[in-house]
Each structure stands twice: as structure tokens, then as C-alpha cells.
Amino acid sequence: MNDSTLPADHPFLTGDELLFAALDSMGAEAVAEEAAALGEAIRWHDHRYYVLDEPRVADGFYDRLFRRLQALEEAHPEVCAADSPTQRVGGTVVASLPTVEHVAPMLSLASGADETKLREFDERLRRSLQVDEEPPPEVGYVAEPKFDGLSIEIVYVEGRFDRGVTRGNGVIGEDVSANVKTIASLPLRLHVSSRPAPAMLAVRGEVLLPLAGFQALNRGRVEQQLETYANPRNAAAGAIRQLDSSVAASRPLDAFFYEVLASAGAELPETHWERLDWLREWGLKVSGRRRRCDAIEDAIAYHADMDLARDELPWEIDGVVIKVDNVAIQEQLGWRSRTPRWAYAYKFAPREEVTRIDEIALQVGRTGIIAPVALLAPVEVGGVTISRASLHNYDQIRAKDIRPGDTVRVHRAGDVIPYVVERVDDRLEAERSPPFEMPDACPVCGSPVERSGAYFVCTGGIVCAAQINGVIEHYASRHALDIEGLGTKTVRQLTESSLVESVADLYRLRAEDLLPLDLFGDLKASKLVEGIAASKQTTLGRFIYGLGIRHVGQHVAEVLSRHFGDIQALISADEDELVAIHEVGPEVTRSVREFFAESRNRDVVEELLALGVSLQGPADAPTGSGDDRSGAIFSGEKFVLTGGLESMSRTEMSALLESLGARVTSSVSGKTDYVVVGDNPGSKARKAAQLGVATLSEPGLWELLESRGYER
């Protein structure tokens, strides 16, 4: 095994230990020893990756450790500890969530979004400490982010994770241990390298779903026609309160800790600041942005700083919490009925506002998907004026019953596109606009609109100005007309400069037209014009594929080319003839018919032919790059597969995707296009969500393949 990825200071595994002896040749003791070493190593890497954000090894290396531990535990279940890293993956299903009493009450915080209220809190507190001194002495504070998530109690007994309990009514909560254990940054064993673990430690923290994970989750839900979550907090809470822990495992939850609720068998330090240091040393995630404040002025400055930093944070915070640092003083100050006198939540202006929808506009994307967008009466949300918000899709608009003229609640967080959360409108039905309907015709080109799963799609393709860039890129792509030099940026320049308004315009370009454009010098301009001219000699199959007819991928285009041998025959083919062709189903038939029924599409074809595009029929036509028959429907898009698939093995699926032009890699990065998530997925699903990479379920993958013209 190649151990070159091992970090120099890796504490647990050396290359020798990674030889991974054959399992059946190992004695029970050797298995137990190796499982323990692997468990330690994985815990160490988890901490570096999820808590410190400083991974030391490539994902592939980590996955090998993980799979080896899984294999050992499968063969020898007796070595599998309840807190083994493999037990985080979820899958436990319970009938109900038992209720549990908290070790100490989980109460609430006095809060406000007003600076004077914070100053009053400070003054009140100092006066009650030293009534006779004037002015009262300063107290030291610790200011920290107020995480907008779900409050949780985690109890460790003898350093081992014992349970995770929701806040509930503050005294009794629900035992959500199986779900909480899926949180990758949460240690299942406390680290004891700095100091021993206490006999019992109960900590309070917040479970969060990072914004990227939230967006990816909602994107997936839109595709599956499920209702979206209103905010990351609800999505986190929804996962933590599930009976089936695989739901939590599929969401990249995180958790930060900010209080010791109770402890036994350890003398904790006297200040909150140091207590947080101890929690961090025990391996718990603690905010690195907390700040010591000598006086309330510093806390006010901290609030202003965090308000500015808020948009750059990967998760939502809704304010800052200011706490008296000295624990003895905290105790002296004590509690009101439900809130401590020593802490205050100084909130930010909310990121949600109520406004009116003036209009529901339709935006046609470059792939033809028509997205409804809410045009709003402008409203300031957290310092930014917004006048547009996403409505996700038609089904969500109907489910939430949102219509033009309605008053709605909108949400903006980080750099995420603002979205409409819900309708908050109490007008009578008669006073409202009629329910929103998607149009039958594309608002840009007037072509018919077709429904495809959750989406409405313009069928205009080749004549739709909104899709022109995508259309040209596809027309020029390797398996279509194969014109070199027509990448995304170049195409955008050509269309933005109005030199190209349809594919036919490509054949009218002269090198001198291109020279004024930024991206072109003499050489590049003449090369592109030559490349375009060379593409005139093409095959019928490539040409049909290049037209970008929905559901007509490269393979189907070849089938049509072989059957008809001539473009005019295809144009005039009727439904019966098309549907009778082996490998041509009703969907393809319908889209081919719709495409050629549109006179503007036929005009473009005629124009291309008139400009000299010459189509060789299949008999004498070489099929080009040899892999044409496999039907390349991806052009190098990067896939990662994780978890078990139902329809075929992962290896077979990789082979299929690769035969269709995709690249299948083993680790997820920002460059990955899709992560296909099967059963019991590993860390890759979580990483995808963290990076905001699109994830596909297995049915979702098939849908994608079919939408690109692949036929099973």
C-alpha cells in the first residue's frame, strides 16, 4: 500500500500497520488490536477534519481506514464498540424518542436587539454586585457568537458519549443519541491528552446545519418535489428529532459547545473562558471567534464586528451572547425564574422581513428551466435591500399558496439567494389574485413549455435567446459539431457582443469581426473561423445531436441518423414511424415531433444547410472518435459515487458513467459536479453537502441520465 499520504506527525498508524493482513489469517487478539488502532486513527482524523478544519490526509486514505475498520467489525462484531467511528453512520430506527431529565435545567437567555438594553443589563449587574461603589466596578465578560440552531445537552460518562438530549421544556428533553452520534465533529470519546476526562461531564451546545448543506438539501428536495425547509435551524431540528438516524447522517450537521451544565469528578477552572478552553481540549468544538471583553464597550464593538462577519460565516448566527467570565460572580448574581442574571443575548437585526410580492416573474435559465422569481416591494433585510427572492419552483408556490400581491416573509442569510419562506397574508380569497399558473409558452421565445419532474422547461432550445449560450456550447461540443475554441467564456463574448444570435450566425463570422473582442488576437480569431468552417463537413448523427433536441442524446441521434439517413426524412417523419424505431420511445418521439413542428426550428436547420453545413449519411460516414456509439451525454462532468446502489454495483455504474463521457473520481472536491448517494453513504455525502456539491439519489441519477437522452 502506498503510504506517502501519511503525515509525518501522525500519531497512530505507520505504513507497516497499513499492510491490512488478510482477515481470515488473523487471530482475535490481532483483530482487536488493529480495530482499536484504526478507531484511534479515525477519531484523530475526524477531529482534524471536522473540528480543526485541518485535514492531514486525502479522503481516499481516510476511506481506506474506515472501510478496513468496517470489515474488521463485520467479521468480528465483538470488537465493535458502541462509540466506534463506524457507529456514526446512522441507520438505527426507534419507535419513539424516550424522554430524559436534564442533568441541570437548560434555561433561556434574556435577549434584545437594542444597545441600550445591553447597557442596562451591564449596569444592573454591576450595581447588584457592588452597591456602595460609585461608579460600580467593571466586570470581565466573554462575548461569543449566538448560534442559530438547536440547543442540545450532551453527557459524557467516564469520557465516553452517553447521551444527547434536546432541550425540550428545559427540564426534560428527548433522547436523540442515535441522531446526535452522526454529527461528525462531535467526539464520542473525550480527548485525554491534556487532562483526564471527568467522571461525568454534561455540556450544552448548539446543533447547526451549515448554509451550504442547507442549500444542497433544499435543492435536492426541490428536485424530489418535497417541501423545502424554511431555514437551516428547522432542517437541523428536523434531522435531530427523527426516529431514523440515517436522516441525520445524510445532513452535514455540526455542533458548537458553549456551557458546562454540570460535571463530577473534576475541578473545573474558575472562568468561563478557561472552561471553554477545557472543552476544546477535550475535543469539543468551541467557537474560535469568542472574545474576552473588559467592559461592555468591548462587547458592543464585538457585536458590530460579528454583524459584519456574519455574511462570511458558513452557518447562521443570530446575535452574540455576553457572559460574565468569572464563575463565582455568575453564582453570586444567580438566576431569575428562567434566565441567568449574568448573561445576555444581544441579537442582530433579523434576517427575515415581511414584504409584498408585486409580481411573480419567470426567469429562463440557460438549460431552458423556467424558474418563477418573486419581485418584491424592496425591503431591507439585515442591512441589504432585496427586491427579488427565489420561490424554488411551481409546486412550492402552490403548496404555500403564494400569489402576486400577497404579503410574505422573506429570508436572507450569508450569500445565499434570498427566498420566500411563507405567506403571511390575511386577506380574503376574493381580494387576492388568482392562483399562480405556469405559462404554456416560454416568456422569452414563445415556444411550448413542457413539464419535466419538478421543473417546467422551454422546448425552444435552438431559438430561445435565454438558452443561446448553452445551445451554442452544445452545438460546438466534441460529440456534436466539434468546433474547437468555443468554450463558455468565448461563447458568452460572442453572444453579448451580438455577433452571434443563433447557431447559424457562427457560419457568418469573419476573423475581422472577432478582433475587437477581448478574448481574441489574430491567431485565435482565424483559428476559430477555420474551426467553424471545418465543422461544415459533418455527419447526420452529429448534426441531429447538435440540435439539442430534448431526450435526444448522442446514441439516439445515431439511431435516428441510421434509420432516416437524411435530415429531411427526419423532419417529416410522423409519430408512427418514429415510435416504431427500436430504441426510440414515446418521449423521444414527442420531443422530436415538437421540435420539428416548430417552424422556427426548421428555419434554423434550413439556414444551416444553406450556409454550407453538409451532412454525410450514416452509410459512408465514419463515426468520428470511435466512442460515439456509447452516446457521450456528459462532457467530462465529475461524479463521485458513495454508498450501495440498487440497480447495479458501484463499479458497474462507474463504468456506465464513464462510457457516457463522465469522469468518476473517488474523492469529493469543489470541482465535483455530482455526488451520487446510495445506501449507507460514507463521509463523501457529508462532504458534498458541506461544499455545496449537488447530490443525487439513485433514482435522481437515472432521471438525470434520461433527461440527457440516455435510454435504459
Q: Could you give the residue ranges of the DSSP H alpha helices within 15-114? A: 28-46, 59-75
Catalytic residue among 117, 146, 285, 489: 146
Cα 267 to chain center, whole Å? 42
**Of 412, 214, 216, which Cα lies nearest the Cα of 315?**
214
User: Binding string to ligand IVH for residues 378 to 397, with x set by CB under 6 A, is what?
Assistant: --------------------
Of 307 and 606, the one with the shorter C-beta distance to ligand IVH is: 307
Contact between 313 and ligand IVH by CB under 6 A: the answer reads no
String marking each residue 273-312 x if it binds ligand IVH according to CB under 6 A: ----------------------------------------
- Minimal distance in Å, beta carbon 257 to ligand IVH? 9
* Binding of ligand IVH by 258 (CB under 6 A): yes
Give the largest Cα separation in the chain, rounded: 104
Question: Which residue type occupies 575?
Answer: E
Q: Is-contact 445 357, C-beta < 8 A?
A: no
Q: Does 499 bind ligand IVH (CB under 6 A)?
A: no
User: Shortest approach of ligand IVH to residue 340 CB, angstroms?
Assistant: 5
Quote the least distance from Cβ 410 to ligand IVH, whole Å: 23
Closer by beta carbon to ligand IVH, 343 or else 547: 343
**Which residue do the cell numbers 443563433 mark?**
502
Question: At a CB cut-off of 8 Å and minimum separation 6, what does 132 contact?
Answer: none
Determine which residue in the list 165, 180, 324, 345 makes contact with ligand IVH, applying CB under 6 A: 345
Residue 146 annotated as catalytic: yes
CB 388, CB 373: distance < 8 Å: yes
What minimum distance in Å lies between the beta carbon of 430 and ligand IVH? 41
Return the bridge partners of 208, or none. Answer: 254
Nearest to 347 by CA among 324, 313, 316: 316
237 binds ligand IVH (CB under 6 A): no
DSSP 384: E
Which is nearer to ligand IVH, 317 or 362 (by Cβ)?
Answer: 317
Taking the least distance from each CB to ligand IVH, the nearer of 259 and 598 is: 259
Considering only CA atoms, give the Rg of the chain. 30
DSSP class of residue 647 equals: S
Which residues ranging from 72 to 131 are in contact with ligand IVH (CB under 6 A)?
A: 107-109, 111
Three-state DSSP at 260 gives: strand
259 near ligand IVH (CB under 6 A): yes
CB-based contact 506:536 (threshold 8 Å): no
Does 482 contact ligand IVH by CB under 6 A? no
Which residue's CB is nearer to ligand IVH, number 112 or number 617?
112
User: How far apart are the C-alpha atoms of 404 and 650, rounded to whole Å?
Assistant: 47
Report in angstroms how near the CB of residue 685 gets to ligand IVH at its nearest. Answer: 27
Q: Please give the Cα distance from 280 to 139 (Å, whole number).
A: 24
By beta carbon distance, the residue nearest ligand IVH is 151
Residue 649 one-letter amino acid: S
Pick the piece of the chain touching ligand IVH (CB under 6 A) from 145-153, 274-282, 581-589, 675-683.
Answer: 145-153
Whether residue 264 contacts residue 253, with contact meaning beta carbons closer than 8 Å, is answered with: no
C-beta separation of 70 from 146 below 8 A:
no
Give the integer Cα–Cα distance in Å for 45 and 312: 26
Do the Cβ atoms of 131 and 184 come closer than 8 Å? no
Which listed range, 146-154, 195-203, 490-498, 534-542, lies at the site for ligand IVH (CB under 6 A)? 146-154
- Which residue in 62, 141, 147, 596 binds ligand IVH (CB under 6 A)? 147
Please identify, using beta-carbon distances, which residue of 105 and 136 lies nearer to ligand IVH.
Answer: 105
Contact map string, positions 317 to 336, toward ligand IVH, x by CB under 6 A: ----x---------------
Name the segment binding ligand IVH (CB under 6 A); options: 337-345, 366-374, 379-387, 416-424: 337-345
C-alpha cell at 483: 468546433
Among positions 177-196, residues that touch ligand IVH (CB under 6 A) are none
Map residue 676 onto helix, strand or coil.
strand
Which member of 126, 146, 191, 474 binds ligand IVH (CB under 6 A)? 146
Q: Does residue 144 bind ligand IVH (CB under 6 A)?
A: yes
SS3 of 626, please? coil
- Using rule CB under 6 A, residue 344 touches ligand IVH: no
Residue 144 or 473: the one with the smaller Cβ distance to ligand IVH is 144
Distance CA 71, CA 6 (A): 21
Least distance to ligand IVH, CB of residue 261, Å: 9
In angstroms, what is the minimal distance from the CB of 268 to ligand IVH?
A: 16
Give the start-end residues of each E strand in 465-536: none
Distance CA 325, CA 307 (A): 22
Q: Residues 286, 343, 370, 675: which binds ligand IVH (CB under 6 A)?
A: 343
DSSP secondary structure letter of residue 198: P
Shortest Cβ distance from residue 334 to ligand IVH (Å)? 12
3 state DSSP class of 609: helix
672-711 residues near ligand IVH, rule: CB under 6 A: none
CA distance 239 to 246: 9
Contact call for residue 151 and ligand IVH (CB under 6 A): yes
CB of 321 to ligand IVH, least distance (A): 4
- Size of site (CB under 6 A) for ligand IVH: 15
- In contact, 578 and 592? CB cutoff 8 Å: yes
Residues marked active site are found at 146
Residues in touch with ligand IVH (CB under 6 A): 107-109, 111, 144, 146-147, 151, 206, 258-259, 321, 340, 343, 345
